Structure 1
């Protein structure tokens, strides 16, 4: 498949966790990737300006949101993490599709687990949909072009 030219739209995506595609998520916040800077100065260097090299990589959370339904899979997953279930880690894949539903990019998050679970406020004066959000911590992130 040839690479897409130009900017990509972010409105057509699928989230795959536990081996099943879930198109019900309405919002995905991809994490910020950060590499620590390690500043050092060799003992024989007369300069007061440090040399820098890359250190450990770290990531903010992957945030998934959707309208609340009677499906409790995200709550159950968070509950398993809370209770120390060793099988809670999963590989989560976010797939970006083009307007013809062809795969454009994938982000893969290894050993992901739910670190935060929250619901939007309930408000008797509003008819807004209740939003369920889970923030995932993970070990590593890879980006692939098919």
Structure 2
């Protein structure tokens, strides 16, 4: 091996991460996180004095998808259901949620921060008397802003 190939970093594994909610003082263990995407809407624009009969594309308002979190069901753990039930009468507590990708030593390598997140859907576990899997619930969150930072 050459010294150049030894200095190339390895891609980060995606299985070691932590998620914390602003209102809770500790990280919550989740099995899976998906939906960390953001994209600008494309606007077509044509200047009135443009000699070409065509439009140009410009970035517009940024839109985000919903975040989907999956976690095991624990006895007497109704925090997310209680948060979801607060949606009645258009009253909802919005949260700042921090998702951290960790390296082998537990140090943060990348951070995603979701602003003003709130639950849009909770899916309880499926039940099957022939299965041996753990009970998993799914929490889907809408949010208003996504910022990404590296350690």
- Cα contact 1:68–1:130 (8 A) shared by 2: yes
Per the TM alignment, residue 19 of structure 1 is displaced from its structure 2 partner at its CA by: 4.1
1:85 pairs with 2:73: no
Residue of structure 2 equivalent to 1:26: 31
Deviates more, 1:115-124 or 1:4-13: 4-13
Distance 1:145 1:116 in 2: 30
Query: What secondary structure, in the 3-state scheme, does the structure 2 residue paired with 1:77 have?
Result: helix
- 1:83 Cα offset (Å): 4.7
Given the two structures, how large is their TM-score scaled by the length of structure 1? Answer: 0.89
Tell me, which stretches of 5 or more residues in structure 2 are unaligned?
1-7
Deviation at 1:127, TM superposition (A): 2.0
Paired residue for 1:133?
A: 138
Q: What are the Cα deviations for residues 58-101 of structure 1, in whole angstroms up to 9, with x where unaligned?
A: 11111111111121111111111245334x10100001110110
TM-score normalised per structure 2 = 0.86
Structure 1 CA distance for aligned equivalents of residues 45 and 146 of structure 2: 28
Q: Does 1:15 align with 2:19?
A: yes
| Aligned partner of residue 69 in structure 1, secondary structure | coil
Match of 1:145 among 119, 131, 150: 150
Correspondences of 1:71-82 after superposition (within 5 Å): 71-82=77-88
2:3 is aligned to none
Structure 1: any 5+ residue segments left out of the alignment? none
Name the stretch that deviates more: 100-109 or 5-14: 5-14
Larger radius of gyration: 2
Partner of 1:54: 59
Which secondary structure does the structure 2 equivalent of 1:20 belong to? coil
Relative to structure 1, the CA distance from residue 130 to residue 139 in structure 2 (aligned partners, 3 Å threshold; closer, same or farther) is same
C-alpha separation in 1, matches of 2:26 and 2:58? 39
